[in-house]
Structure 1
């Protein structure tokens, strides 16, 4: 087979830009260079350097201003996946000049007030009595376990019974019990303990101090996932992101993910973790679920591992964690690195709209996925879209679920995040039907803020009213523009209107002549409540009045 001989050696630029030097990539020497254009970087060269002139300008390339880098499809997907990025975009669309710079808003319910301790705890027995630990574990299994069923109840209470009898604390057991106790406290006002945050800190200290083994055991993995669940519900985004990535890497080291047991490797082969396969599958699934959504929110890379090949079995009554994990395929398909056309997104949306579940956390997880698909589609603002009405009904159901969760004291991260995202989505859709739902979203957020009264929620409520004020200001400015136009009398330049009316009659238009009216109604949803005949007759009656 004949080899292909290249035309000649590829010419390299005599000088590379700063970005290409740092990234160690080839630079074509243009300004901006091809690499910077592709990744949206600011292309600049070192000072006192003469830039080589390109021999010929690129064909059919429209230069963009230096302050507007071109957005790639992946960048657009990252913004659409991030609810916080969507909030910023909504505010910019309302008032691009006066819009404030927002940080992450209503990402969770936030932390409670922290109680100072005169000493540093080194074991869970320094923070809790056995009775307190038992009450917190019962609260955990009542509120958290139905949604995230990755802990064996009997094993936990067995360890609680033994732990307060042992003088030498087993570190991995303490880390797991601290995580369970912290979540039990956070999800139960009746059993909330003042040392809740100290339980979280002690668990993190133990996990950080444990020597990295070749095979993290079940208690270590459980402690890591409990930490991720807590920090996602109560702490800052980057803290949750780092914890979720660490948990996924622990899964990888332990060999939990699919295809992770090679015959030979650098490290020793991981041994099989002693627990039921369903527990192991849910432990990995919850870690993957949280890492994926957190990475979408903060716009950073997720840890991509394949789930263990363990088939699902029927869940015990009252649990719905498997239903939650069934959302993972659609969730993972939204990765910015994957391509999805509109038909695939709409098919996923249609399937989601058929869900009839009633459990609050599950409904909120479904709503979170629905909102992300709507942001990726960006095409349901037209009132005639058949998926718009059922989507709004699902969002109404989600707001009701949030209020029920608030009454039941279930401060999942969705409790604040999803209602705020719904509020922004309703403003973005901007139809009469969506705007009528805004008050429902506002009252839901206010009720949640009153219940938990954290700094995070108070900031969210204030931001919500700021967005409403900007929206009202924008609408009022638009109305004033229309009023100023309509205040000018219509002058058709006719010398004698009375004689014109006697000698000329306006004909009624036929269907073809007013076809533009249908397009107008589609573009302006507020006109859709007016009957077609009324619009035609009123427009021509006005014309008669002008003659």
Structure 2
């Protein structure tokens, strides 16, 4: 053939990664290779091929024009830091790790203890049916549930305009229409939360309301989300956070964040409407509140179960203005501190300590807001404990003050028939932190924490509440066993090596020609020490010649 004929030689990588080798796919030898990047495989190479892989990567770096702009791959230390952050952010992982440190044989298995009171058990034998809200509730019942919602739920999650809602509900009932619309999902969400916060036991109407809202939201996924759809999503996620299992709730919170993005609510640069197809205007204040509550729910669900949160690329968020009778802004002020705890961020001990000092000094007014403050405090404590930080002094006292207020706030909400997810979650996590702190003041709070958990399982006798109480008692039992083992070791040391015991043993084998010490032990011969508070023991143990003896001691000496 002529030398001018182009030669098409097949470019073959020197070594293929394991995922490409197993799936018999073409591998370019990169790390990660393009195939693994495309299909989200875990790109890795056989141990024996490390040198060849390094050579392949080196060749690729020399030939690729984009090498100098490519982001560096995470190091082993960065990966380990991320894992530790995930474990510290997740209360269940922290509980498991703490229990393994106390008694590996009897530690509870890894699961979300006390994530909410129900964990999917708020059900009955009734089969939920999707139908019009007018067929589920009467007008007086709807009025009552709207009042309950704005009395108990809206002050904490205030993102619904009450005047507009009541006006539209009245118009909907007047029209006597049985056709479902996106606004029906909003009404169902409000009514379902009203029933949750007014009845300890579920009724058939609540299940039908939840099912109706679910069907409407699922059918709306193929169209551009309206303000009613986004509002209904927030209501559904809030309801699920208090009643449903963790995985389903987290998935719904992710759907909520994607709905915000699709609607353009996440950014003022994207948003370009004055009203949706139903004629509802999205005011800047309502937009801030919807976006803030949605972020709060998604971030904390992700932290709790150790999964990724939804990051919106062009997020534009400002705090809403405070309003009388509402503490939504008070809770949303915690968002910047929560976002700084993402596992992909490197936060050192000093940053965590400063954040904790800021949080514990905040003044939160209402029980749900106090529990939110306490929950963030507990997370910061878990992160610091992971870094072997020792709590002491005023910071320890402030942390214990927040935990004490958290226990009391949970009891207050229990008395008010307000089953917020923190009602059982925060007392349980407080008990875990108190055991980890292991100071006399911390141990003294355990009684109040366990008593609150006991009251919760009496009011809401669900499997989740009973498991939270039994697991807390198990952790305390394991902690006590370790303390008893330490006490036995110390007692054995004293009984074996105490000078008085050694002298008794010598006296039994030697002639009685020495002074009789049987009536006065070696401790009795020491001078009285009436004022240990003024004695500088550190200087004494360090051999300083300048330490001063308390005045009462010199008299006895």
TM range (shorter): 0.7 to 0.9
1:452 paired residue among 443, 460, 479: 460
Q: Take 1:190 and 1:97, find their aligned partners in 2: how far apart are those partners?
A: 37
Q: Deviations over 1:367-402 (max 9, x none)?
A: 011111111112686464431111111111111111
| Matched-pair contact (CA < 8 Å) for 1:380–1:388 | no
The answer for the alignment partner of 1:526 in structure 2 is none
Q: Take 2:82 and 2:422, find their aligned partners in 1: how far apart are those partners?
A: 25
Higher alpha-carbon deviation: 379-388 or 195-204? 379-388
Q: Take 1:421 and 1:189, find their aligned partners in 2: how far apart are those partners?
A: 26
Q: Take 1:310 and 1:482, find their aligned partners in 2: how far apart are those partners?
A: 58
Shift, 1:202, TM fit: 1.6
Shift, 1:173, TM fit: 1.0
The answer for the alignment partner of 2:330 in structure 1 is 323
The answer for the alignment partner of 2:541 in structure 1 is 514
Q: Take 2:526 and 2:127, find their aligned partners in 1: how far apart are those partners?
A: 90
Q: Take 1:53 and 1:309, find their aligned partners in 2: how far apart are those partners?
A: 47
Q: Deviations over 1:482-517 (max 9, x none)?
A: 333334346699998999999xxx999996561399
Report the structure number with the largest CA radius of gyration.
2
Q: How many residues in Structure 1 have an aligned counterpart in Structure 2?
A: 477
Distance change >3 Å, CA 77–CA 369, structure 1 → 2:
same
1:201 paired residue among 211, 222, 230: 211
2:295 paired residue among 288, 302, 324: 288
Paired residues for 1:40-51 under 5 Å: 51=48
Aligned-partner SS, 2:365: coil
Q: Take 2:329 and 2:341, find their aligned partners in 1: how far apart are those partners?
A: 20
Distance change >3 Å, CA 157–CA 193, structure 1 → 2:
farther
1:177 paired residue among 181, 187, 194: 187
Q: Which has the higher helix share?
A: 2
Shift, 1:409, TM fit: 1.4
- Establish whether residue 424 from structure 1 lines up as the match of residue 432 from structure 2: yes
Unaligned runs of 5+ in 2: 1-11, 37-41, 55-75, 517-524, 528-535
Shift, 1:157, TM fit: 1.5
Aligned-partner SS, 2:112: coil
Shift, 1:28, TM fit: 7.8
Shift, 1:210, TM fit: 1.9
Aligned-partner SS, 1:72: helix
1:187 paired residue among 197, 207, 228: 197
Q: Take 1:119 and 1:376, find their aligned partners in 2: how far apart are those partners?
A: 42
TM-score, length-normalised on structure 2? 0.76
The answer for the alignment partner of 1:210 in structure 2 is 220
Q: Take 2:21 and 2:542, find their aligned partners in 1: how far apart are those partners?
A: 55
TM-score, length-normalised on structure 1? 0.77
The answer for the alignment partner of 2:133 in structure 1 is 124
Q: Take 1:322 and 1:497, find their aligned partners in 2: how far apart are those partners?
A: 83
Unaligned runs of 5+ in 1: 1-10, 30-34, 36-40, 58-67, 263-268, 518-531, 538-547
Shift, 1:239, TM fit: 0.8
Q: Take 2:28 and 2:396, find their aligned partners in 1: how far apart are those partners?
A: 46
Q: Deviations over 1:417-475 (max 9, x none)?
A: 11100000000111111111111110111111111222211111121122222222222
The answer for the alignment partner of 2:483 in structure 1 is 475
Q: Take 2:128 and 2:383, find their aligned partners in 1: how far apart are those partners?
A: 50
The answer for the alignment partner of 1:233 in structure 2 is 242
Paired residues for 1:83-482 under 5 Å: 83-110=91-118, 111=120, 113-117=122-126, 120-164=129-173, 165-189=175-199, 193-214=203-224, 216-258=225-267, 260-261=269-270, 274-305=281-312, 307-310=315-318, 312-315=320-323, 317-378=324-385, 382=390, 384-482=392-490
| Matched-pair contact (CA < 8 Å) for 2:122–2:202 | no
The answer for the alignment partner of 2:520 in structure 1 is none
Shift, 1:19, TM fit: 8.7
Q: Take 1:348 and 1:183, find their aligned partners in 2: how far apart are those partners?
A: 33
Distance change >3 Å, CA 112–CA 244, structure 1 → 2:
same
Aligned-partner SS, 1:147: coil
Distance change >3 Å, CA 249–CA 442, structure 1 → 2:
same
| Matched-pair contact (CA < 8 Å) for 2:322–2:328 | no
